[in-house]
Amino acid sequence: MSIFAEKFHLRIPGPTPIPPRVQQAMAHPMIGHRSGQASQLIQECIQHLQPVFGTKQSPLLISGSGTSALEAAVINSVSVDEEAIVVVTGAFGDRFAKILQRYGITCHRLEIPWGKACDPDTLATFVQKHPQSRAVFMTYCETSTGVLNPIAELAKVIHQHSDALTIVDAVSCLGAVPTKMDEWGIDLIVSGSQKAMMLPPGLAFVACSERAWSVIEKNNNPRFYLDLPAYKKNMEKDTTPYTPAVSLLFGLRESLHMLEEEGLDHVYHRHEQLKQMTRAGIEALGLELMTSDVDASPTVTSIWGGKGKWDSEELRKQLRQLQVIVAGGQQHLKGQIFRIGHMGYCDPLDILTVFNTLELSLAKIGVSIPLGQGVKAAQEVMLRHV
């Protein structure tokens, strides 16, 4: 076994690498989850999450994956005899729709071609066609394609043409892109720990507007663990209704301190730089990006495979042999694309490492590419941001 077996580069769109500071924080000795120390920890986490969400509301902490937050958003905001719209721009918009359908809620799917962002005019027309819809569910960053939807504009047209709640999945971008829940009029945002928040999987976050709470508190859907009013009631006493993931909360507090120390504006700028470096390097190698510059997410980049000329899964295998791990495609894109994650604990030198190994791996599988060109293009972007 190589002495470097544990020295690898995780460049998937989640889970993402954990900073040593956060790892050390999670090693804090266990405390009583109903103790005053735990309440202080929860209070600090909620206070420091507020600017990340862009809200004066108090985000709720759920021990669960991001999907638990998606399900909580559905079952607390829409009753089984009501209608809802889901903007499907990829696999995670599709997941929202599947949750609604599982609960027997009438679901109107606005299908957007994968790799494209939702256009506000398209959404406005669709909302007007379904005036009985009580909520519109959207994905901020569609991880499966690398698309960032224009949430501020989409929220605006929803409010112009309906009284529906605006509900957003920000799992794969919260903490990496500007998020202004209150200013944009978003009623409910959900996210998770294992992406730009630089934590292991296991924590979910939900923030609700006053308008959303007025709907949620009248909703009679049966629910227990994911009953948001129970979390709100307990949050007001700096606790949670069920056992919190205490070690992850220690890590969350530390990751939030790191975001504050860097400054959120700088964090957003860094992620934009990482996106530009990645896209420039891919284009310099003659590979095809899945999304346009306008639609591209700062947290993950999707690249088409060889389209019959070479196998993206073979490329991923070669990258793994060089200790660089990237993601493949999901659903019908499996085997057709590969995805490079660049969020959270990621800096420009990490992107240069990816391109160094990407070029070697492409050469190994017989793809004729100009060695060094991807690295060079990424370096040129990096120099412009120095």
**Residues 300, 136: Cα–Cα separation, whole Å:** 24
pLDDT of residue 1: 61
**Residues 90, 155: Cα–Cα separation, whole Å:** 19
Asked if residue 123 is part of any domain, the answer here is yes
Read off the pLDDT of residues 341-380 as tens digits, 9 standing for 90 and up.
999 999 999 999 999 999 999 999 999 999 999 999 999 9
Share of residues in the chain with pLDDT > 70 (%): 100
Letter for the amino acid at 17? P
Asked if residue 29 is part of any domain, the answer here is yes
Q: Is residue 202 domain-shared with residue 270, that is, in the same domain? A: no
pLDDT of residue 34: 97
**CATH number, residue 345:** 3.90.1150.10
**Residues 39, 31: Cα–Cα separation, whole Å:** 11
Strand order in the sheet with 60-63: 60-63, 203-208, 188-192, 165-169, 133-139, 83-88, 106-111
Q: Is residue 35 domain-shared with residue 166, that is, in the same domain? A: yes
To the question of whether residue 253 is assigned a binding role by annotation, the answer is no
Which of 261, 278, 303 is the last residue before a domain boundary? Answer: 261
Q: Is residue 294 domain-shared with residue 312, that is, in the same domain? A: yes
Which of 261, 292, 315 is the last residue before a domain boundary? Answer: 261
**CATH number, residue 237:** 3.40.640.10
Q: Of the ranges 118-132, 154-168, 234-248, 305-319, which one carries the lowest mean pLDDT score?
A: 305-319
Share of residues in the chain with pLDDT > 90 (%): 95
Domain count for the chain: 2
Q: Is residue 270 domain-shared with residue 199, that is, in the same domain? A: no
Q: Is residue 200 domain-shared with residue 293, that is, in the same domain? A: no
Domain, as residue range, for 196: 20-261
Asked if residue 3 is part of any domain, the answer here is no
pLDDT of residue 227: 98
Q: Is residue 331 domain-shared with residue 366, that is, in the same domain? A: yes
Whether residue 382 has pLDDT greater than 90: yes
Please report which residue ranges of 103-222 form alpha helices under DSSP H: 120-129, 151-161, 181-184, 210-216
Read off the pLDDT of residues 61-76 as tens digits, 9 standing for 90 and up.
999 999 999 999 999 9
Can you read off the two tokens belonging to residue 116?
């494209």
Q: Could you tell me the pLDDT band of residue 308, with boundaries at 50, 70 and 90?
A: confident
Q: Is residue 284 domain-shared with residue 367, that is, in the same domain? A: yes
Q: Could you tell me the pLDDT band of residue 4, with boundaries at 50, 70 and 90?
A: confident
pLDDT of residue 3: 84
Asked if residue 2 is part of any domain, the answer here is no
Among the listed residues 11, 24, 15, 12, the one whose alpha carbon sits nearest the alpha carbon of residue 247: 24
Q: Is residue 256 domain-shared with residue 279, that is, in the same domain? A: no
**Residues 151, 138: Cα–Cα separation, whole Å:** 8
Q: Is residue 268 domain-shared with residue 257, that is, in the same domain? A: no
Query: In DSSP terms, which residues pair with 62 in a beta bridge?
Result: 204
Q: Could you tell me the pLDDT band of residue 386, with boundaries at 50, 70 and 90?
A: confident
Whether residue 236 has pLDDT greater than 80: yes
Query: Contact at 8 Å (CB) between 63 and 202?
Result: yes
Which of 261, 285, 308 is the last residue before a domain boundary? Answer: 261
Read off the pLDDT of residues 259-292 as tens digits, 9 standing for 90 and up.
999 999 999 999 999 999 999 999 999 999 999 9
Q: Could you tell me the pLDDT band of residue 306, with boundaries at 50, 70 and 90?
A: confident
pLDDT of residue 385: 86
Please report which residue ranges of the chain form alpha helices under DSSP H: 20-26, 36-53, 66-77, 91-102, 120-129, 151-161, 181-184, 210-216, 228-235, 246-262, 264-284, 312-321, 348-364, 373-385
Secondary structure (3-state) at 310: coil
Q: Is residue 193 domain-shared with residue 244, that is, in the same domain? A: yes
Rounded to the nearest integer, the mean pLDDT of the chain is: 97
Asked if residue 4 is part of any domain, the answer here is no
Mean predicted confidence (pLDDT) in 238-247:
97
Q: Is residue 80 domain-shared with residue 94, that is, in the same domain? A: yes
Q: Is residue 238 domain-shared with residue 332, that is, in the same domain? A: no
Q: Could you tell me the pLDDT band of residue 2, with boundaries at 50, 70 and 90?
A: confident
Read off the pLDDT of residues 156-175 as tens digits, 9 standing for 90 and up.
999 999 999 999 999 999 99
